[in-house]
Amino acid sequence: MNIQDVFKSIETKLQADLQETRASIEHAASKGAANEQATKLFLRSRLPKNLEISSGFLIDCDGAVSKQLDIIIHDAAKTPVLFESNDLRVIPVECAYAVIEVKTDLSLAALDQCIENMKSVKVMKKVAFYEEGIIVRPTSVYGQEYQDWPLMYFVFAYESAPLASIADKLSATLKTAPLDKRIDCVYSLDRGLLANRTPDGLYQATPTNGSIWTGIEQDSLLLFYTLLAHYMNQAHMRNFRFSDYLKRLNLRWPCTYYG
């Protein structure tokens, strides 16, 4: 089995799907939905089955709600779906590991909206967990350790502006933002992968101290999947505590006493 050839065939199919969608659908939103669905199918077929792929909204126990999200990668076993209608779900942010925004055409103007969507997600708080006692399982990413998995944000585009232009805009717009409050990496089907190159020459999905944006054209889908899977294969969460979401409601339960 030649893994490079497998992923090249996937790229070819995605490109063919894009052309078929353009030929068949005129409405821009419908085209976007079709490309989003193709991306979800790719991820579902390649990521571990302990992960679920959904679309919809994230909420936290302080009442914050994200913008509508194309793809949410979350824990398949521990996620309570708080609401579901058609293909949209409302999911607690504690259960989410990553968000992927799908763009048919990632222009520099569209990148501004991606940045705003990312900010609406990465500001959310993950606090509704049961304590696990003395033993904790920290996650090392963004040059530091986290007790709970930090939410990652990726962009998956079918066509885009040149990678150098995207890198320049991301660097200028987010240069003062903490490493964990940035878009992590960008894949473009027609351009390649914009990844983070560490000072020792390694490629990562997420930025770290001293990393720089680097464009990769060859085998870019394979590398994007490899970098994404590096984290998603390690993703974990403590047990979710739903009662934290009720604290703001000030509930008074009616009771009847017997005996």
Token digits of residue 48: 């571990």
Average pLDDT over residues 33-56: 93
pLDDT band at 249 (very low <50, low <70, confident <90, very high): low
Q: What is the pLDDT of residue 28?
A: 64
Between CA 135 and CA 120 the distance in angstroms is 32
- Closest listed residue to residue 155, CA positions, set 193, 85, 100, 209: 100
- Closest listed residue to residue 22, CA positions, set 198, 213, 159, 199: 159
pLDDT band at 204 (very low <50, low <70, confident <90, very high): very high
Question: What is the Rg, in whole angstroms, of the alpha carbon atoms belonging to the chain?
Answer: 20
Between these two residues, 234 and 132, which has the higher pLDDT value? 234
Domain boundaries, the chain: 63-130+160-212+220-247
How many Cα atoms within 13 Å fall on the side-chain side of residue 118? 27
Token digits of residue 26: 């005129």
pLDDT band at 251 (very low <50, low <70, confident <90, very high): low
pLDDT band at 133 (very low <50, low <70, confident <90, very high): low
Between CA 64 and CA 72 the distance in angstroms is 16
